[in-house]
Structure 1
């Protein structure tokens, strides 16, 4: 009997297969292309689960425009519309999903037809986001018999989230990932979970846990009770050759501490595919074998109309916004040589930032203070 887990991570609003800054189609990124691979891999098996590992609401011009418009619009956030169209079963919240504030996050998730999980997060006001959820699937044996399986999915995000968004510090607390898991996993088992999948919006990291570690996916895999790990946050790909020789990691088989795991890049560049096989033991499905891979989305993968169609209005609005002329420069602007000297493009950004801040300070008690402006060439 077989269950397939499909996973994306760190989409960062790369929904359409389009590079908005270069204004040309992209053959590397975009959930609308990944969706075609998702549908193909789903069709190969009788039972599957589709998960996202966080950082799906923030990033790129479409993300900024959606954040500005969400309060004045009737439809769902474009990322939610795309994920609903693909019938995601669950998602974890990543640190960047909080960048636009809690009210924005709650409004965005209100239209989601899937739970957004954050086990190690508590809010000072209002209900917490769910820590975990249960997903039920029927596994089909060789004779066509069906056997129910209850899958528990739990989400984690970096404890540093509360520090990276300083304006959120009085609104929420982000707790240690490993300590939270040690408390939550027994509760999830008691609720009926026969298999536990950790959506770890966290890098792979070392096998030994340290307090409030940012990269905790390998340390999570070490814990008894965790069966599968989806890693993310660092935009890397696992399994793969760069992980060879590290303690606790099987870079060929895709195992962390002996548990099947995957990290599927970013922006829809890869699809995580974990195949789990089960045998009946006393009439109950027991995990017997697992394989894991991060499958790169081929450049010639077609766009999935099911995902692209609900995004067309936001796509066109983003293109119009970026084509709006805001001024004219008599100096060529680029960042080709930023690392070796002055850069006209960065200087323009610095001047604009300084002008804006000085304008906002006018008439206030801090108007006399000097304004410093910094920008980075990446």
Structure 2
């Protein structure tokens, strides 16, 4: 009898609650957490790029023995600081040919070589880069001028990752860290904070095997830039990189090149899937520039090749390249909605 009364009480409670639950389900969101996850977010991300600095840290002409307003990373640093103030969503990268090229670079090799190799001293140029808080860098062909031991010691002092994917050991392993994926905290247009996984990968011309034969022969081999990228970029995406930035110490030709090309940026932009931005260099030229206007797959106004933003910022710290990416997050995934390269 007691059990039957309890059943009646339960049935009556259900008859009262069920209509209420149905009404509430129409009024209240069914899954607020899921709705938040699917909410669209936009982020304006900037990539600042230096290239071919060639040891010109100061705005000083050592050959004329006087200050200059024409070049020097010290002057570029002012642009970097200004841009970071204007857009905290800013990354800073260097594209190689950093440690060689003027008396300051030669001084480090002549008087500090053993300390740099042993790790007792940080290369003075790397000290400057550390103070500017670079996010990543790569190797240029001139990094190999002083031998592998000196280069290893130089890299050791960097507080930012220096990447290269196409210099290999004789057994085919990567001689250097091929790529890194770093998290960057960014702020969207509504003030919301997000974590974006940024992948950095680097390349150097295969011709270093000729230019620095005495330092490299029998010790390393160099893979074609495009071949290396096709192998490695998919790995970066598989490991969760939201965007991939290629630091290519390689120049820009106006058409496709053959395997082993010195200047392979056009091919990186047109033949490799998954790259979102390319920093070019090596030629000491400018991109975007009117020189490329009208060339097939080039958009000089937007600073793109095949829709991929590209910059090449001359040399010696004369310019800073800027790649602006508008990133959109939809259903938990980031993609590039719009992009522009400029000098």
Normalised TM-score (structure 1): 0.75
Secondary structure at the aligned position of 1:218 is classed as helix
Whole-Å separation in 2 of the counterparts to 1:258 and 1:139 = 24
Whole-Å separation in 2 of the counterparts to 1:234 and 1:111 = 27
Secondary structure at the aligned position of 1:103 is classed as helix
Q: Map residues 108-147 of structure 1 onto 2, 5 A cutoff.
A: 108-124=154-170, 128-147=175-194
Task: Name which of 304, 309, 324 aligns with 1:255.
Answer: 304
Deviations 1:352-377 (A, max 9, x none): xxxxxxxxxxxxxxxxxxxxxxxxxx
Q: Map residues 171-182 of structure 1 onto 2, 5 A cutoff.
A: 171-182=219-230
Whole-Å separation in 1 of the counterparts to 2:50 and 2:307 = 21
Q: Does 1:192 align with 2:222?
A: no
Q: Map residues 155-166 of structure 1 onto 2, 5 A cutoff.
A: 155-166=202-213
Whole-Å separation in 2 of the counterparts to 1:280 and 1:117 = 27
Deviations 1:234-267 (A, max 9, x none): 0001111122122221112100111111001100
Whole-Å separation in 2 of the counterparts to 1:197 and 1:107 = 25
Is the contact between residue 254 and residue 292 of structure 2 (CA under 8 Å) also seen in structure 1?
Answer: no
Deviations 1:27-82 (A, max 9, x none): 11111111111111111113111100010011111111111122344431121011
In structure 1, the gaps of 5 or more residues are: 295-378
Whole-Å separation in 2 of the counterparts to 1:203 and 1:275 = 21
Normalised TM-score (structure 2): 0.83
Greater Cα radius of gyration, structure 1 or 2 = 2
| Aligned position for 1:107 | 153
Task: Give, in angstroms, the shift of residue 6 of structure 1.
Answer: 0.5
Whole-Å separation in 1 of the counterparts to 2:145 and 2:235 = 30
| Alignment coverage as a number of residue pairs | 294
Q: Does 1:228 align with 2:277?
A: yes
| Aligned position for 1:14 | 56
Secondary structure at the aligned position of 1:289 is classed as strand
Secondary structure at the aligned position of 1:291 is classed as strand
Is the contact between residue 59 and residue 71 of structure 2 (CA under 8 Å) also seen in structure 1?
Answer: yes
Whole-Å separation in 2 of the counterparts to 1:67 and 1:121 = 23
Across the aligned residues of Structure 1 and Structure 2, the Cα RMSD in angstroms comes to: 1.5
| Aligned position for 2:36 | none
